[in-house]
Every structure is written in structure tokens, then in C-alpha cells.
Amino acid sequence: MPSTEQTRLRAEILIVLTVTFGTSGIRAVLRLLDALASPAPLNQQSVTLNSAESSVSWLDLALQVASAASLFGWGALALYLLGARLPRPGTTDWVQGAGLALLIGIPGLALYVTALHAGWTKEVVVATDTAQLPTLLLWSAANAFGEEVVVVLWLTRRLSQLGWSRNASIVASAVLRGTYHLYQGISAGIGNVAMGILFGWAFHKTGRIWPLILAHFLIDATAYLGYQLLDLSWLGL
């Protein structure tokens, strides 16, 4: 018969995932099913990341900041429940984060291009309005902090406390990460599962979450800025 502590931990996991990435995963699966039901193949569909939420610039900024704040809030909630606090990132964290970003980013780009040609994923479009550059960097930080703290630090620790093995907790974390990216396409889910396994392994080896947060930030920021550089229309060219 489960102990009171185990019951509390299971309830915590259910509640936190319901208000954070668990519900995001369910929505992503439903969006993928909707896309697959469309007569157009996946690679002829597109998904826009961080598009403007209002035609009024200051309202758009306010809405974007509010949405990003919820991700920071999810991460803060997870830290609060763990009774933990994050130290400031050090030089080693940045070096390890940059290494992880390179290890994930280059193969990830190759997978995306291959999957797009094969029809396994949607075309991912990032808003290219230069006025959104600070907002895109804010989203990069919010996604990195919220995802890595909740999906890796909090979830794997809670599963470990429930008696899950290291490998089982890493796989569970990775599958969750892949699930809530399925709205982009099948390959996005597969690629993020692979990323989750690597990140989970790195966290269990070092016990530090900052390299994962920084790597995630660098990957997202590079992708967002890459769209800005590739779309030269804003330069009048």
C-alpha cells in the first residue's frame, strides 16, 4: 500500500503536469492529429512560432511578456516545490551549455531539413519583425528555464523519489519533451526525445541544471536570430 509521501508525490506530479507541460503535450498530440487529417501533407503546412499577438506594438509586447512570464512561473513553482534554489551560472556552465548546444543544434537542423523534404514535419516559421528581437530572446530564456527546470530537474527528482530508476526517469522526461513538440510534426517529437535523453543523461552525470538551460537558450536564440538573418527583406534588399 503506497505511503502518504508517495501519494503526495503522485498528486504533485499530476497537478504540476496538468497545469504545465502535460497539458501542452496533449494539445500538441491533438494538433498533430488534426494536421495529419488535413488533405495537405505536413511539409506543405506551417507553424509560426511567437507570432505577434496584437497589431498594437505595446499591447503585443505586453502580451508576449505575460506569456513568457508564465513559463518562468512554471519553473519557479517547480523550484519552490523542491525547496531548491539555483546558484548563479558559472563559466563551466556556459562552456558545457555551449557544447551541448552544438551537439544538439547541428544534427537537429539536419533532421529538420531531412524531415521537411520527407514530409514528416511542418515548415517552422519564426516571426521576423526586427522589433520582436528582444521578445524572441525573452522567449528563448523563458522556454529554456521553464522546460529544463520542470521537465528535467523537478520531474526526474520526483520520479526518483518514487523509486524510478535513473534510466526510467530520463526516458519519461524525454518522452514528455517530445510529446509537447509534436505540434510541429512527427520528426520534432522524435528529435526532442533524443535531446531529452542527452539532457537527462547530462543532468544525472553533473547534477547541474544550468548547462541545460544555457544550451536550450543558445539553441532557441540561434534559431530565432537565424531567421532574422536569412530573411533580408527587413533590410530593404
**Is residue 28 scored above 90 in pLDDT?**
yes
Average pLDDT value for residue range 104-119 = 86
Band (pLDDT 50/70/90 cuts) for residue 113 is: confident
- Separation of alpha carbons 228 and 132, rounded Å: 10
Cα torsion through 134, 221, 47, 149, rounded to 10:
-100
Band (pLDDT 50/70/90 cuts) for residue 77 is: very high
Burial classification of residue 218, based on how many CB atoms lie within 10 Å of its CB (0-12 exposed, 13-18 middle, 19 or more buried): buried
User: Which phi and psi (to 5°) does residue 125 adopt?
Assistant: -115, 135
Alpha helices in the chain (DSSP H): 4-19, 21-37, 57-82, 91-118, 133-147, 155-161, 166-179, 186-206, 210-230
pLDDT of residue 141: 96
pLDDT digits (tens, 9 = 90+) for 135-185: 888 999 999 999 999 999 999 999 999 999 999 999 999 999 999 999 999
- Separation of alpha carbons 42 and 66, rounded Å: 31
Cα torsion through 199, 204, 208, 211, rounded to 10:
-20
Burial classification of residue 80, based on how many CB atoms lie within 10 Å of its CB (0-12 exposed, 13-18 middle, 19 or more buried): exposed
**pLDDT above 90 covers what percent of the chain?**
65
Asked if residue 132 lies in contact with residue 224, where contact means CB atoms within 8 angstroms, the answer is no
**Is residue 128 scored above 70 in pLDDT?**
no
Other CB atoms within a 10 A radius of the CB of residue 199 amount to 27
pLDDT of residue 228: 57
Q: What is the pTM of this model?
A: 0.91
pLDDT greater at residue 125 or residue 36: 36
pLDDT digits (tens, 9 = 90+) for 188-229: 999 999 999 999 999 999 999 999 999 999 999 888 776 655
Please, which residues have CB within 8 angstroms of residue 58's CB and are 6 or more apart in sequence?
A: none
Beta bridge pairs of residue 125: 48
- Separation of alpha carbons 107 and 121, rounded Å: 16
**Is residue 52 scored above 90 in pLDDT?**
no
